[in-house]
Amino acid sequence: MVDLHTHTLLSDGELLPSELVRRAEAKGYEMIAMTDHVDSSNIDFILPRIIKVCKILNKYWKIRSVPGAEITHAPLEEIGPLVKFARKAGAKIVIVHGETVSEPVIPGTNQIAIESGCDILAHPGLITKKDMKLARLKGVYLELTTRKNHSSTNRRLFKMAKAVGAKLILNNDAHNGDDFVTLPQAKRILKGIGANEAEIRRIFSNSAWLGAKA
């Protein structure tokens, strides 16, 4: 299993990076990306620390740790520059916090994030069909999530993505060890929103491919 959206205590998570990775490994994960919340205030502080710990953990553990960042609630004008900064600073997975039903994200964030070329648009429950088509053209992955509240729009996202051919992945948006679902739980979640076996395999393979590319 692969999870490309997690948080440590360097932002609003509860665990040290090492413990978060170990708990993911115990749940059967082969790879996780640590993508703490960033904006212009902290990206230069957090990323070097995540990169450092990923190098250490990858030296000793079988599970692969990938350094990343989630650009969160940033002004629209800052999203593009922050995506570029994150990549230049060494982030292998760049996420933008999408327009969700459970937080007051600035309208227009989804479009700007996609145009900026992020890797993943996180839990974009309020995405329009126009922006979803743009994501397909730009190769941006749209996130189905197991996280409470954000997950309420998974069915809508899946149905729309299926209609336009946009790429989907499943992440936990984990903030602690209990947030990591097992493989059977993940399959049940996807079946619950209408995905068949072939579509479930495709969603999992999307995550694996993006992780391997990182």
CATH class of the region 2-213: alpha beta
- For residue 78, give the nearest of 38, 111, 39 by alpha carbon: 39
pLDDT digits (tens, 9 = 90+) for 15-63: 999 999 999 999 999 999 999 999 999 999 999 999 999 999 999 999 9
Residue 85 amino acid letter: F
Quote the pLDDT of residue 162. 96
Q: Where are the domains of the chain?
A: 2-213
CA distance 212 to 214: 5
Q: What pLDDT, in 10s, does the model give residues 141-182?
A: 999 999 999 999 999 999 999 999 999 999 999 999 999 999
Instruction: Report how far residue 21's alpha carbon sits from residue 50's, in angstroms, rounded to the nearest whole number.
Output: 12
